[in-house]
Amino acid sequence: MGDLPQTILVQPSQGLRGTLLPPSSKYHTLRYILSAFLAEGASVVHYPALSDDTTVLLQACRALGARITEQLQPDGRVVLQIQGTGGVLHAPANGELSVGNAGAVARLLLGLCALVPETITLTTPYADSLGRRPNGDLLSALTQLGVTVESATSEGTLPVKLHGGARLHGGPVTISGRKSSQYLSALLFLGPLLPEGLEIEVVDDLTSASFVDLTIAILATAGITVQTLEQHRRYRIPGGQHYRAGVYTIPGDYPSTAALLGALAIAGGEITINNLAADDPDGEAVLTAFSEMGLEITRREQTITARRVGPLHGIQLDGNRVIDSVPVIVAAACFARTPSRIFNVASLHLKESDRIQDLADELNQLGCQVTPLPDAIEIQPVAPGQIQGGVAVEAHADHRLIQALALAGLGSVRPVTIHHAQHIAKSYPHFFADLASLGAETLGVGE
């Protein structure tokens, strides 16, 4: 984040045009890197997401025993060569492993670090962001498997100390999925390496369940068998399996694409976005949401072209399927002529920021009418010109809020200043440069 300005000034803009290659998918990147990390032998990962989360995970994998080299391609993209561990992990010399501000990385590694024979402590320098996010349900599951755990709080917040190794065993385990699907994904990565395997039961609702489906699909590409006894409820993982080395190519990222579509919805124009997998159900849900708002979107293989064809319409949206895209959808809905309601999003309270309350507070400073609810966000239309802008807003160290506030700035009457905008590097370091290439006016104004 050191090369990115800490403060961004977003000018009102109209008529975005151009063609972009979005960032690679963070979800695919993290899971393919972990599969390669756990494999016996060398794997290749083409075009991983260039983000803080990727950097944190690669540093952690190296600290736990993997050998990783990065090759920069002429087009600026990266190819990773990963010599895996075969599931044999060891703690760093100081016994600590930093997971930065990367929630998914933290949860997935909490599961895998149960394999480490030494005591290991997972830490974060972001006490007010990742440091407040709960991991208690995952720690409870690890305790059922023989792991000794210590946390800073009863909610399982970081730092978390684990002692598994010889104490760790497989067998039946229950897990709550109400707060995060990442807990279940962590067990799915761990289970194949246990001699007894795992039989997992989700005891309540599973939020963002499609991420679990993605985990299982990527595990299959690495030669891992997961038996689905009841989808999103019960799984059996045979023990003693081995991760297979492979060659993986990362597709484009739909939440990043959602931010670009949100910008188009507010500012108008026409843009083309490449490298978007056509068989991604979550991605199609993003495109459907923006189509219902008033964008005309056409697809040709892995390329979409989108343009705004008239005024924006409010929508009624189950946000659980597009959970990471909700903030930018909310920002776009602020400029619609009819009300919107985005529901089934309680888990947004527990992200890098409170993406319901904090998002509403900041957007309302600009003149929007956003109502935060325990499980939903409601947006009322305002008259043209009422979203005045002309103020400074706080990003709460959250890349998704930065995107949403930037989009609102494009449609405000006066410029909007975003503080702590360097946290955009978590998922989309080139976001403001890409907006500028489409014709938006953004300016870094501080270090």
CB 375 within 8 A of CB 385: no
CB 254 within 8 A of CB 294: no
Q: What is the DSSP string of 71-140?
A: EE-TTS-EEEEEE--TT-----TTSEEE-TT-HHHHHHHHHHGGG-SS-EEEE-S-TTTGGGS--HHHHH
Quick one: which of 84, 61, 80 has its CA closest to 72?
A: 80
Q: How many other CB atoms are found less than 10 A from the CB of residue 371?
A: 13
Which position has the token pair 């993986």? Answer: 248
For residue 95, CA distances in Å to 85, 162, 201 come to 18, 10, 32
User: Catalytic annotation on 213?
Assistant: no
Write out the two tokens for 350.
């527990």
For residue 123, CA distances in Å to 97, 136, 326, 396, 410 come to 6, 15, 28, 20, 37
**What is the spatial distance between Cα 108 and Cα 104, in angstroms, rounded to a whole number?**
6
Q: Which listed residue (52, 324, 354, 398) is catalytic?
A: 324
**What is the spatial distance between Cα 148 and Cα 269, in angstroms, rounded to a whole number?**
56
**What is the spatial distance between Cα 213 and Cα 114, in angstroms, rounded to a whole number?**
23
Q: Where are the beta strands (DSSP E) in 328-439?
A: 340-343, 369-372, 376-380, 392-394, 416-419
Catalytic residues: 324
